[in-house]
């Protein structure tokens, strides 16, 4: 990018040295074009540095997201329920069971109440990986 700025500066110096803009129309056009090129290369340099800032920022968000995902997988007990009304399977954070407030879990499909944390519902704990199914299955079954 710096290379482009240097080339443009060189050409501008050259055109001044040769006095190409003195009088003749072609010379005026050439120095006009060089002026535009100079502006464009300046904009490119600015954009490159802004791009690098944004890129670093996105990379740091990506790292944070990865960390968050790992923590979530490790720390979350999930309760799986099947809606009696429509059969929809749903998962929710087991911490809700311990919550002091009464929390109703509503089926996202049919809006029936599928769970209330007042002790009147049965539930089973399962870990996160069971709850999300075979997503991590690499398809290679090894018989032992
Ligand atoms: Zn339902």
- Ligand 1: distance of its center to the CA of 126 in Å? 21
- Ligand 1: distance of its center to the CA of 8 in Å? 67
- Ligand 1: distance of its center to the CA of 118 in Å? 20
Its pTM surpasses 0.85: no
- Ligand 1: distance of its center to the CA of 89 in Å? 8
What's the pLDDT score for residue 122? Answer: 66
Instruction: Count the alpha carbons within 13 Å of 29 in the hemisphere toward its beta carbon.
Output: 3
What's the pLDDT score for residue 103? Answer: 84
- Ligand 1: distance of its center to the CA of 130 in Å? 21
**Do 94 and 117 contact (CB within 8 A), yes or no?**
no
What's the pLDDT score for residue 117? Answer: 80
What's the pLDDT score for residue 4? Answer: 87
- Ligand 1: distance of its center to the CA of 108 in Å? 7
- Ligand 1: distance of its center to the CA of 32 in Å? 70
Give average pLDDT by consecutive 10-residue segment, the chain, 144 residues: 84 88 83 93 94 97 93 78 90 80 88 82 60 50 52
96-99: long-range contacts, CB 8 A cutoff, minimum separation 24: 97/123
Residue-wise pLDDT tens digits, 84-98: 899 999 888 887 777
* CA distances to 17, 20, 141 from 12, in Å: 9, 10, 68
What's the pLDDT score for residue 123? Answer: 64
């Amino acid at each position: 990018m710096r290379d482009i700025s240097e080339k443009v500066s060189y050409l501008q110096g050259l055109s001044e040295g040769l006095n190409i803009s003195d009088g003749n129309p072609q010379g005026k056009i050439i120095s006009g074009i060089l002026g535009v090129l100079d502006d464009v290369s300046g904009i490119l340099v600015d954009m490159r540095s802004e791009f690098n800032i944004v890129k670093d920022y996105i990379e740091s968000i990506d790292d944070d997201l990865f960390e968050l995902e790992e923590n979530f997988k490790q720390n979350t007990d999930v309760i799986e329920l099947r809606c009696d009304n429509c059969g929809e399977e749903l998962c929710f954070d087991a911490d809700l069971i311990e919550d002091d407030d009464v929390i109703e879990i509503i089926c996202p499909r049919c809006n029936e109440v599928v769970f209330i944390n007042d002790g009147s519902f049965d539930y089973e704990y399962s870990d996160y990986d069971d709850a999300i199914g075979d997503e991590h299955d690499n398809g290679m079954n090894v018989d032992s």
